[in-house]
Amino acid sequence: MPNAPTDEPTPEQRQAIAALLARVIPPAADELGRRFAAAGHELALVGGPVRDALLGRPGKDVDLTTDAAPEKVLALVEGWADAVWTIGIEFGTVGLRKGDLQLEITTYRSESYDPRSRKPSVSYGTSLTEDLRRRDFAVNAMAARLPGHEFVDPFGGLGDLRRKVLRTPGRPEDSFNDDPLRMLRAARFAAQLGFTVAPEVVAAMCDMAARIEIVSAERVRDELSKLICAAHPREGLALLVDTGLADHVLPELPKLRLEIDEHHRHKDVYDHTLIVLEQAIAQEESGPDLVLRLAALLHDIGKPKTRSFEPGGRVTFHHHEVVGAKMTRHRLSALRYPKDVVADVARLVELHLRFHGYGTGEWTDSAVRRYVRDAGHLLPRLHKLTRADCTTRNRRKAERLRRTYDDLEARIARLAEEEELAKIRPELDGNEIQAVLGIKPGPLVGRAYKHLLDIRLDRGVIGKDAAKEELLRWAREQGLEPPAS
């Protein structure tokens, strides 16, 4: 039986585990355990908090499970909890707060999906072991009874932690049929924990990949974000591609595996993308940056649609950044990412090639101003993405690109000292434009404003009088007759 418990802990090990859990389990959870026991009910810390305690990872979640029905849970915490919320009560979960501690209590349950439905049907149980059986992976199917801290591990989760492997408590086919999102969670845990996924689990993911389509876009998005922001995202993404799951949740990624024949030469775009992601991560300064990581992952997704074969074995991808930006907006919107995330990632994809027009420093100051202006608040991320996009193995070329970008950043810093680049505005505002041209608010004001902004970017500060002259000259070219001064 592939999922039978293994590495049963000795009594001494169980005692050591109980002592470890006693140090990390909040006193309030033990207090609640005594309250449930006095009423004849079980309560246990379960899942991720137990796993993380055994791995020595700090955890904030306090997930509890009980044989008490939700209505009974509400009665038992009344007068004890400082606040209670029931947003998940239809799935058997009651949330509560005690002081600064937040806890979730879920009644023992089993849940399964109808093949035609996105929502689980829930039935309550009376056995902790059976409740653990329905959980996603054996490493998450361990528990500590409260208040005594008795370690419960019926499916060999402790052994899996030692071997750094992900297995399901029961048959993976049954687990993924109950909740297809668990296939994405396998990839996410591989990325977060650096674990390998058991062969039978990988096989089930391959066979059942299409089942993920019944899961809501929001749940898929949340798992993808956790995977991408994990410590080892490459491992998780590769698992999604290799099992076929990516074909259903992020199809642009496997399409980067372009066929390469002996006559046409270009780098492996898929492998390049994963390297760019890793190099972008290496530049992060204060934790995972979802926008930067998504931009690194998606920056070349326009290449398959724009690939063209040229004489002499050359391959080109003209305007792939423009096509890629459009594809990025479509994919992230389909995954229900917030509008600001969609806009920022798409803009980075659109701008990621701009630097290559810099050459060896031929840009004028006005071109540098435009680069800063177009990047706006994304400039620090654009710096990181552009540097990460250099994956050449030619050391001389890589060093030349690095020095050139150093030079661009130095020019940006010099110009920033002279003027606030990120806040560049025309020297005449909208009201002044209306006064000079004798016009009312409307589209014409916007066109005039853009013209003056272009002059400001091209020539720097020219003064209000010169700006008025330029505005009047432009108005005459538009066939307008400005008022007599």
Question: Residue 45 pairs with which residues in a beta bridge?
Answer: 64, 144
Residue 77: the pLDDT is 95
Q: How far apart are alpha carbons 224 and 239 in whole angstroms?
A: 12
310 half-sphere exposure, CB direction, 13 A CA radius: 10
Distances (CA, A) of 220 to 224, 225, 243, 379: 6, 9, 16, 29
In DSSP notation, 338-378 reads -HHHHHHHHHHHHHTTGGGGGTTTT--HHHHHHHHHHHGGG
Going residue by residue through the chain (485 aa), what tens digit of pLDDT does each one get? 445 445 677 777 777 787 778 777 889 999 999 999 999 999 999 988 899 888 887 777 789 999 999 999 999 999 999 999 998 888 899 999 999 999 999 999 865 555 555 555 667 888 999 999 989 999 999 999 999 888 999 999 999 999 999 999 999 998 998 899 999 999 999 999 999 999 999 999 999 999 999 999 999 999 999 999 999 999 999 999 999 999 999 999 999 987 554 434 446 899 999 999 999 999 999 899 999 999 999 999 999 998 888 777 778 888 899 999 999 999 999 999 999 999 999 999 999 998 887 777 778 888 888 888 889 899 999 999 999 998 888 888 889 888 988 999 999 888 877 665 556 778 888 899 998 888 889 888 888 888 898 888 777 788 889 989 898 889 888 888 767 65
> Are 184 and 192 spatial neighbours (Cβ–Cβ below 8 Å)?
no
Q: What is the spatial order of strands in the sheet that 63-66 belongs to?
A: 83-85, 93-98, 101-107, 63-66, 43-46, 143-145, 151-152
Using the CB atoms, write b or e for 268-306: b if 16+ within 10 Å. Answer: ebbebbbbbbebbbebeeeeebbbbbbbbbbbbbbbbeb
Q: 376 Cβ partners below 8 Å, 6+ apart?
A: 422
pLDDT (0 to 100) of residue 21: 82
Residue 427 near residue 467 (C-beta atoms within 8 A): yes
Q: How far apart are the first and last CA of the chain?
A: 94
3-state secondary structure of 443: helix
Residues 299 and 356: their CA atoms lie apart, in Å, by: 15
- Calculated CA dihedral for residues 453, 455, 459, 460, nearest 10 degrees: -30
Q: What angle in degrees, to the nearest 10, is found between the helix axes of 290-298 and 217-228? A: 100
In sequence order, what are the residues at sequence separation of 6 or more whose Cβ sits closer than 8 angstroms to the Cβ of residue 467?
426, 427, 428, 452, 455
Q: What is the pLDDT of residue 63?
A: 92
Give Cα 201 to chain centroid, integer Å.
24
For the stretch 384-430, pLDDT in tens is: 999 999 888 888 888 988 898 899 999 988 887 766 555 677 888 88
Please report, for the chain, how many H helices and E strands are present, in that order.
Answer: 23, 13
Q: What is the pTM of this model?
A: 0.80
What tokens were used for 87? 């947003």
Tell me what pLDDT residue 124 has: 84
- Dist CA 410 CA 366 (whole Å): 15
Of 24, 32, 33, 27, whose CA–CA distance to 148 is shortest? Answer: 33
Furthest-apart CA atoms within the chain: distance in Å: 98
Quick one: angle between helices 181-193 and 217-228, nearest 10? Answer: 10
The H-or-E segment that residue 109 falls in is strand 109-113
Counting Cα atoms < 13 Å in the Cβ hemisphere of 24 gives 23
Calpha distance 482→335 (Å, rounded): 51
**Pairing of β 165-166 and β 196-197:** parallel
Dihedral sign from CA coordinates of 44, 47, 52, 55 = positive
- CA-CA-CA-CA torsion sign (406, 410, 416, 417): positive
